[in-house]
Structure 1
Amino acid sequence: MTSVWENLTIDAHDPSRLAAWWAEALGYQVISEKPDEVEIRRASGELPGIVFVPVTAPKGGKNRLHIDLRPADQEAEVERLVDMGARPVDIDQGDVRWTVLADPEGNEFCVLREREE
């Protein structure tokens, strides 16, 4: 027997704000908003979702798990995400073919190059 991937959970100081940011970034929608969690998905019945839960503790260090995005145009997508409030970050990645950004609460994610044929 195997498990079904239900959600990725992200700690947030402001779950509603961060969920709205990621929903816009990914073209997802907020499907549930409660005081203790906000969930976004591509569509209501489609898994996996991303759940944002409130925390008071500050983020410490580099994320050990992160999201990789693969857009059709890396440069344009990085520009769009930065315009939305993401910021470039250096996590000692060196000279790589992807761009590392952080969301408005400092969670790192990667924007990959277009997939080569």
Structure 2
Amino acid sequence: MSLRFYQVAVDARDPAALARFWAEALGYRVLLENEEEVVIGVDETAYPGLVFVPVPEAKSGKNRLHLDLAPDDQDAEVARLLDLGATVVDVGQSADVPWQVLADPEGNEFCVLSPKSSLTDSWTASAGYVTPPRVT
């Protein structure tokens, strides 16, 4: 196959500021910054990355696509993300879900999942998720 997942594009009113939020949140670096885009990633060879592109309008409505983040310590990561400028949001999730829904400084929703060690087959099965096979 000659196709690879390269990056996720994010519309932003302030691409540089939003890119810096996500770089700090994910431990990424700013790899490219100009008037047309700001690209962040682990490094120039690791995929996928995130690219932030300028748009004149503010976000409206719920995301059709969002990131799920898997922490070692959910409470600590949520607190850190809130300190970086994220906010807690309600997208209609019930109170007993094992993830927390946050939004970045421009209102893009994302989820902070249960700690990786507690993402069990029974939880993923009960939530309707299928664990993909490991590729070796």
Query: Match of 1:17, SS?
Result: helix
Which residue of structure 1 aligns with residue 65 of structure 2?
A: 65
The TM-score, its normalising length taken from structure 2, stands at: 0.83
Which residue of structure 2 aligns with residue 100 of structure 1?
A: 101
Query: Match of 2:39, SS?
Result: strand
Query: Match of 2:75, SS?
Result: helix
The TM-score, its normalising length taken from structure 1, stands at: 0.96
State the Cα deviation string for residues 44-64 of structure 1 (Å, max 9, x = none).
211111000000122111101
Aligned length: 117
Which residue of structure 2 aligns with residue 90 of structure 1?
A: 90
Mapped partners of 1:113, 1:100: distance in 2: 11
Mapped partners of 1:31, 1:10: distance in 2: 15
Which residue of structure 1 aligns with residue 110 of structure 2?
A: 109
How big is the shift at 1:20? Answer: 0.6
State the Cα deviation string for residues 30-79 of structure 1 (Å, max 9, x = none).
00001010000111211111000000122111101000101100000000
Identify the structure with the greater strand proportion: 1
Letter in 1 for 2:27: G
Largest Rg, 1 or 2: 2
How big is the shift at 1:2? Answer: 5.0
How big is the shift at 1:6? Answer: 0.8
Structural RMSD (CA)? 1.1
Which residue of structure 1 aligns with residue 7 of structure 2?
A: 7
Mapped partners of 2:48, 2:79: distance in 1: 26
Q: Segments of 4+ in structure 1 off by > 6 A?
A: none
Which residue of structure 1 aligns with residue 21 of structure 2?
A: 21
Which residue of structure 1 aligns with residue 129 of structure 2?
A: none
Identical pairs, percent:
55
Gaps of 5+ in 1: none
Mapped partners of 2:52, 2:38: distance in 1: 5
